[in-house]
Amino acid sequence: MIKLLLSSLIILATFVSPAIAQFPGAGGTAQPKALPGTAGDQSPKGNAKLSGSIVDSSSAKGIEFASIALYSKASGQAVDGTVADENGKFTLSKLAAGEYKVLISFIGFVNKTIDNIAIAKGQDLNLGVISLSSNIKTLNEVTVTGQAALIEEKVDRLVYNAEKDITAKGGDATDILRKVPLLTVDLDGNVSLRGSQNIRVLVNNKPSTIIANSVADALKQIPADQIKSVEVITSPSAKYDAEGSGGIINIITKKNSLQGLNLNIDSGIGNRGSILSLNGGYRKGKAGFTIGGFGRGMYNTITKTTLEQTSIVNDVSTVTRQTGDGSSRGLFGNYNLGFDYDLAKNQSITAGVRYGVRNFRSQQDLITRITKTGEMDLNSARNVDAKNLSGTIDANIDYLHTFKPQQEWSISTLYSRNDLTNDFDADILNGSSELINRQRNLNKSINQEFTLQSDYQTPIKKNQMLEFGGKGIIREVTSAYNFLTAKPSGDFRPELDQPAGDLTYHQNIAAGYTSYTYTTKKRYTFKGGLRYEHTFIDASTNEGTVGVGNYGVLVPSVNASKTFKGTTVKLGYNRRIQRPGLQQLNPNFNSANPQNITIGNPELRPELTNNFELGLSKNIKKTFINATFFGRVTNNAITQVRQPSDTLAGSIITTYENIGKQHAYGLNLFANVAATSKISFGVFSNIFYTTLTGQTLEKGVSRTLENTGFVVSGGVFSQATFKNGWGAQAFGFMQGNQVQLQGHMGGFGFYTVGVKKEFADKKASLGLAAENFLSRRFKMHTELTSPDFNQVNDIFMYNRGVRLTFTYKIGKMTMDAPKRKAKSVNNDDVKSEGSGQSGPAPAGGGNAPR
């Protein structure tokens, strides 16, 4: 299988390069044509020529890729167009004599119109140097206006510009994602997009095995200060992997393309955590180097819980009451080394190595009373120490060949490995607080993968784009687990009722795609594509082969948009699949809290989702409004299923099954108002109605489960800049109850305010932020029910926090660096299990032991 994948991609790479010459405009040094989306008639109409040079008014540097549109004065219609080359120069040839006007635009600059241009037959007219001044409002995409574009709405995605976020300094990626419209982040760091956790999270368009294992854990390793923006892609094209039924989140980190040596220092300290980050780079000529390190400590994380549940097994009722006190602490690190080099004017290579480390430990004290019909109450206490350790390495090499604007070919490789340890030790005490037994669960997992992909894209004429490519992923997951017991003193020995086990899971994927974009003169844009993925599965446990089998899937995607008079309408459809992740496959029997036990299912198959959306965006003076209606239908859904244990009194076991069908229909609303050039505020809300159904088989009896309800979330934010480098920002968020197949999980709220002061010619800044400071704690109430059990769980979170941050930039840099577009592996693949937890949080808090 490995040889097949590698051979296929090598053949593809061999034939793509010669094939490039077969496409219109390939090769040579022809003048760049207009980007797809530029209106205009291609047929020659005369022998006149129009030329000029587009520059930045502040730096006098040429603006590469600036868009030039030529309009007829008589009809008002666009008749031709092009883009500027790397020096900002442009030429429009074969023009008929007549009167015209020219519209020049580029992202981040004010549009400029040159009117009353008269061209005679055969004339060669040069407009000279045309200067564009900086601004945040763009032509071809709707951008939130104001002193800083905190949120942008683009054709296929929403962008949250995190570098404008004052309050997130000193935090991690979780603090950023909480503020992104369309997203919700729960108290454990699990991320949902429009109510679905079946998403794919990328960092700089790259996947990582740690993200595949646990999104929540991975986000804690990314410092907020290093995030440039967050892209939320709700309707991915065929170029993206088919995985991620809810959509894709791409976290873009800050990069330096300036010449010279630089070093950024970010630090922060607070009552619940502290950070230190050093990031530097050196660039000279064609070569650039980057190096960075980030460390974060978490402490003073306290939770209290209460649990009351009733279960019925063999017509015998058992009532369980449990209280818990928990605390957690952790150290997270992220270290990276990068290199890029321009092989030639139109060729570049980039390489990088990243190492992430996590050392997370939690402690829980549980007091449990079990009342069983006809028997005396059983009182016990349990002290649990759990650790979650991991080390992740990602290494990539990417090559990009650009033939002309928008025509390029790339080869990308990625190797990723995550070594994960989830262990716990538990002391069991009787009602007199005497130690009577000890338990230990050891679980070590390895997830590694190698990816090779090649992509090619080319414009066809002036208003079309063709993309195609291939990809192979070789993935291996292993998990070994052991359950040990011991008396109050003495050595640990294997538990006979729970023998050691292992899982070996080979998953290889071969994929190919093609995508086509067409734009009309009247600014209608259509983009359609097909992607086919074939998955080869070879899995086994210590009990024998797992019969999952191979499968293939054809994934279509269609997107259409129309822009007119400041309004953009978008319509999209796509089909996505979701493969199970390690935590859902892992058959380890996790009984850190014996009243809430979790176990994976290695026989899970992927789920298939159809997504629909209709969006409207409009600028009304200083107000930007966006509304999107969406629908999502998932078959064969990977669903959490809970049922009482037959052998452990008062225990609920949570596992995963392909039994569910989910429907969700809803509306996302977002509005931003630029009150002045210095002050802006906004509001966003997400509301949808969901239906979940599932067919379970318990003791040979088939049961149909169903649950429905509305899910509501929303937030408000504001930001302001003042004189002398002062700035302020505030944010508030509310998440309503979450609908699950067997109940409802409670909602929660979150708010933060912050101020920042820049000084030393903006090289340094000092910030102060506070969160949830008006209350000592808040409660999250969860209710789960089925014919065999009822459970009520209250979690009390102590999330009041304050932090002080300091940043400083060292180095002298110039703006002479060439602009480069990097390509990289993009694995939109594998269902993550958030923080690695399952079901309701066990007593002791949101940080469940492993």
Do residue 285 and residue 217 come from a single domain? no
Q: 490, exposed or middle or buried, with CB in 10 Å at 0-12, 13-18, 19+?
A: exposed
Residue at 846 is within a domain = no
Read off the pLDDT band of 665 (50, 70, 90). Answer: very high
Residue at 825 is within a domain = no
Do residue 429 and residue 549 come from a single domain? yes
The last residue of one of the domains, among 209, 224, 253, is 253
* pLDDT tens, position by position, 405-415: 789 999 999 99
Residue at 831 is within a domain = no
What CATH number did the domain enclosing 124 receive?
2.60.40.10
Do residue 235 and residue 276 come from a single domain? no
- CA dihedral (220, 221, 227, 232) in degrees, to 10, reads -60
Residue at 528 is within a domain = yes
Output the DSSP codes for 788-847.
TEEEEEEEEEE--EEEEEEEEEE--EES-PPP----------S---TTT--SSPPTT-SS
What letter would DSSP give residue 107? T
Residue at 819 is within a domain = no
Residue recorded with tokens 């094209």: 237
- Single out the residue of 511, 509, 400 nearest to residue 456, CA to CA: 400
Q: 285, exposed or middle or buried, with CB in 10 Å at 0-12, 13-18, 19+?
A: exposed
Rounded CA separation 68/91 (Å) = 9
Do residue 237 and residue 298 come from a single domain? no
Return the CA Rg of the chain.
29
* pLDDT tens, position by position, 504-557: 999 999 999 999 999 888 878 899 999 999 999 999 998 889 988 899 999 999
Rounded CA separation 338/288 (Å) = 8
Do residue 88 and residue 225 come from a single domain? no
Q: Per this entry, what is the length of the chain? A: 850
Asked if residues 408 and 352 have their Cβ atoms less than 8 Å apart, the reply is: no
What's the confidence (pLDDT) of residue 850? 30
What are the tokens at 315? Answer: 């017509």
Do residue 112 and residue 192 come from a single domain? no
Cα→Cα distances 558→463, 555, 613, 759, Å: 17, 10, 11, 49
> Is residue 210 classed as helix, strand or coil in its secondary structure?
helix
> Is residue 174 classed as helix, strand or coil in its secondary structure?
helix
Residue recorded with tokens 């503020």: 179
The last residue of one of the domains, among 101, 132, 163, is 132
Residue partners of 509: CB distance under 8 A and separation at least 6: 471, 472, 473, 475, 533, 534, 535, 536, 829
Backbone angles phi, psi at 506, to 5 degrees: -100, 125
| End-to-end Cα distance, the chain | 34
What CATH number did the domain enclosing 566 receive?
2.40.170.20
Do residue 678 and residue 741 come from a single domain? yes
Do residue 228 and residue 270 come from a single domain? no
Adjacent-strand bridge partners of 266: 277, 807
- CA dihedral (133, 139, 143, 144) in degrees, to 10, reads 70
Rounded CA separation 358/212 (Å) = 15
Residue at 841 is within a domain = no
What's the confidence (pLDDT) of residue 220? 72
* pLDDT tens, position by position, 723-748: 888 989 898 989 899 999 999 998 88
Please calculate the CA angle 589-591-597 and round it to the nearest 5 degrees: 80
Residue at 64 is within a domain = yes
What's the confidence (pLDDT) of residue 839? 33
Do residue 192 and residue 295 come from a single domain? no
Cα→Cα distances 291→264, 335, 509, 689, 805, Å: 11, 8, 33, 47, 22
Backbone angles phi, psi at 796, to 5 degrees: -105, 115
The last residue of one of the domains, among 113, 132, 151, is 132
Read off the pLDDT band of 76 (50, 70, 90). Answer: confident
Beta strand 748-759 with 743-745 is unpaired
Rounded CA separation 298/692 (Å) = 37
Do residue 676 and residue 568 come from a single domain? yes
Residue at 32 is within a domain = no
Asked if residues 274 and 301 have their Cβ atoms less than 8 Å apart, the reply is: no
Residue recorded with tokens 């679905």: 196
Do residue 364 and residue 279 come from a single domain? yes
* pLDDT tens, position by position, 605-653: 999 999 999 999 888 888 888 899 999 999 998 888 898 988 888 899 9
What are the tokens at 324? Answer: 């818990």
What amino acid is encoded at 96 in this protein?
Answer: A
Adjacent-strand bridge partners of 501: 481
Cα→Cα distances 434→101, 316, 378, 380, 396, Å: 89, 29, 14, 10, 54
In 715-724, which positions are buried (b, 16+ CB within 10 angstroms) versus exposed (e)?
A: bebbbbbeee
What CATH number did the domain enclosing 209 receive?
2.170.130.10
3-state SS of the chain: helix, strand, coil percent to 5?
5, 65, 30
**Interval 759-767 mean pLDDT:** 86
Helix or strand (DSSP H, E) at 656: strand 652-674
Domain range enclosing 194: 142-253
What's the confidence (pLDDT) of residue 818? 42
Do residue 81 and residue 109 come from a single domain? yes
Number of domains in the chain: 3
* pLDDT tens, position by position, 151-180: 776 656 778 888 777 666 667 788 788 778
